[in-house]
Structure 1
């Protein structure tokens, strides 16, 4: 082989490796919020392959996602070189057609040519694999080589909790970590639990003159999430605030949480007449949550402060049937149960009191489009972290906590008892109504509307 080709045989690449441009495109799709399966299909590979890439890399890319500068030959250019070379086109002509220097083409043919079968054949796939192999710059992680830095990071991340006297507080007994996402509704490990960003910035304060005690928060995340780094054990991710086994891109997290909220139903699209409270029929709604996945729905009319409560009993099978992923919410306030409860309550109102409903961003109202079809009431959602946009409802929920305190089971109250509480609240005089009760204020508006209708008819 050496005699024929003038160089030793190149080792076999084995399974065709992932090209950098494909991997880069995959992680860009992930950053846009696509799932690993959809991102893989968009890049021309199978869904299971994309899931494996995402899992093996801990949910974070290990390569720069910035667009290539064009300094190096791309795979498309290497394919063009292979085609022209097979047609016995000269080096200078190839360079002219690709807009490259002749020395670039000559060096490419010399360095990355295939040597199998005892011939020097230029193949684009082999040349791309060899170029990426030689372009790697493997570097030992900083946390592996710097024991002092690793001890500092690990202590701030997973150190023990201690009393003022220095006694260690063990905290609850937690199950063995199995590499899955955070355990919901279960005890978590008690630890110092500094975030990687806090650790990275605190190093500058504690060691202002020691440049060796520096590390970025992204390097800490990679040491935790990426397999094969060897610096920090992966089970230490349970000390992070989220406790996720895989890092989730921000775009995907936002998409999952509020996928049912579109620009058309944002509060900014709500009619201006809602703000001045002059016209009744505009409602605000939310849930008050109790223990064991119990809840009561609240609807408050903005003009009169009239309150209606939604009875949300648990569905058949709750606590008996095992939980099914993506199955129906048996707790009583899933999307379908909420739609039916609100529709039943809104149906008892006259048409002039069914103008709009402003809700929190909770997914319990994911079927708002069907609710509008069933009842005719327009549904809008408040901005994130903006409870003041539903101030009337928030105030009413505070009053209701006198009857339904936090940390209590709300499922023990039946429909008749909940309606009695609503009647008590509607019979309580309010300062903002001139010491009228909400029931009296609503009745007054209905009488005025009825008399206006009779006058127009006459």
Structure 2
């Protein structure tokens, strides 16, 4: 007999037959159900005090509440799983990464399984109860928020070369050495962080800048690219900010070919936008970057480069770059 949930009519019949003191087997026979189904229903929704009556009118409301209640609490009954999730969350791992790493680290243990949505529910429930796990999420939100899309228009830089002429291999991420760069701004007048992301491995380089001048950006970027091994400096994709107006000097000093993304098209530099979001977790908007040391920034860079990424098959950028050409391109 295929299993189906009890209906409101079934509960109506059960309540009246139970009051009439019919046996569970007789109630089941009249409903065309198995007697254990009736037994489970009475244990689940029956009275919790002696002499109580199973009454359908009051039960239906509780049944609807239970039907829409998440069953994620069942996973919380397995301490090793709970401990693993708590540890990785406090190491700033995203829930989706945690869920996938569980599969690779515990391939034969079905109890060590959970969806990233369930992890988010745990975090938000923890926030409601005064916990601080949400502070380890990238956005630090206590509950889900609607996404907002926005853009900022800029005038084109004279002599710029548009992204439409960039080699197709760059878009396909078919080689190492194609970079994207941008600035993460601090409090007004406190400088910025220049970020450089390698498109294929998502490897990050970053440096503190005292201001947003093009000369300052080049003075930081040119030595960084010159220090890289040969073969991983092909192209650089930028937005249309004035801090990149001296791109010809940058090309001359690094050998990179610079391309500019279209206006209102942040998705064309998706890797860089994503990494900037990660940095904002550690250096939030409005922060005074004059109080950030190079040592503190280096620690964050190391943490991000050793953080598993979904787009890399849950490997880390450092692992991917180290594995390239048997480590020949490792930084």
Gaps of 5+ in 1: 1-253, 315-331, 451-458
Deviation of the 1:281 alpha carbon? 0.6
Residue pairs, 1:65-80, within 5 angstroms: none
Q: CA deviation at 1:412?
A: 1.5
Q: How far apart, CA to CA, are the structure 2 residues paired with 1:343 and 1:363?
A: 17
Q: Which stretches of structure 1, 4 residues or more, deviate above 4 A after TM superposition?
A: none
TM-score (norm 1): 0.37
Deviation per residue, 1:420-447 (Å, 9 max, x gap): 1111100111121112110010111142
Q: 2:172 is matched with which residue?
A: 276
Higher relative contact order (CA 8 A, sep 6+): 2
Q: How does 1:252-401 map to 2 (within 5 A)?
A: 257-262=155-160, 265-293=161-189, 294-312=191-209, 314=210, 332-401=211-280
Gaps of at least 5 residues in structure 2 are 1-152
State the 1:261 CA deviation.
Answer: 4.6
- Match of 2:269, SS? helix
Q: For this pair of structures, how many residues does the alignment match?
A: 176
Distance 1:405 1:360 in 2: 21
Please provide the CA RMSD for this pair.
1.7
Note the C-alpha offset of 1:400.
1.0
Return the offset for 1:259. Answer: 3.3
Displacement of 1:258 = 2.3
Q: CA deviation at 1:419?
A: 1.4
> Mapping of 1:374-453 within 5 angstroms?
374-447=253-326
Give 1:360 deviation, angstroms. Answer: 0.9
**SS at 1:402's partner residue?**
helix
SS at match of 1:259: coil
Deviation at 1:344, TM superposition (A): 1.3
Map Cα deviations across residues 382-426 of structure 1 (whole Å, 9 max, x no partner). Answer: 001110000111111111110010111122112222111111100
Largest Rg, 1 or 2: 1
Please state whether the residue corresponding to 1:401 is helix, strand or coil. Answer: helix
Deviations 1:355-392 (A, max 9, x none): 11101110101111111111101111100111000011
Partner residue, 1:36: none
Q: How does 1:6-21 map to 2 (within 5 A)?
A: none
3-state SS of 1:351 partner? coil
CA 1:374/1:402 → structure 2, altered by over 3 Å: closer, same or farther?
same
Q: Please state whether the residue corresponding to 1:425 is helix, strand or coil.
A: helix
Counterpart for residue 168 of structure 1? none
How far apart, CA to CA, are the structure 2 residues paired with 1:426 and 1:403? 14
For 1:408 and 1:309, how far apart are their aligned partners in 2?
17
Normalized against structure 2, the TM-score is what? 0.51
Q: Give the match's secondary structure for 1:352.
A: coil
Cα shift readout 1:302-352 (whole Å, capped 9, x = no counterpart): 10110111221x3xxxxxxxxxxxxxxxxx220111111110111111121
Contact map agreement 1:359 1:382 (CA 8 A) in 2: yes
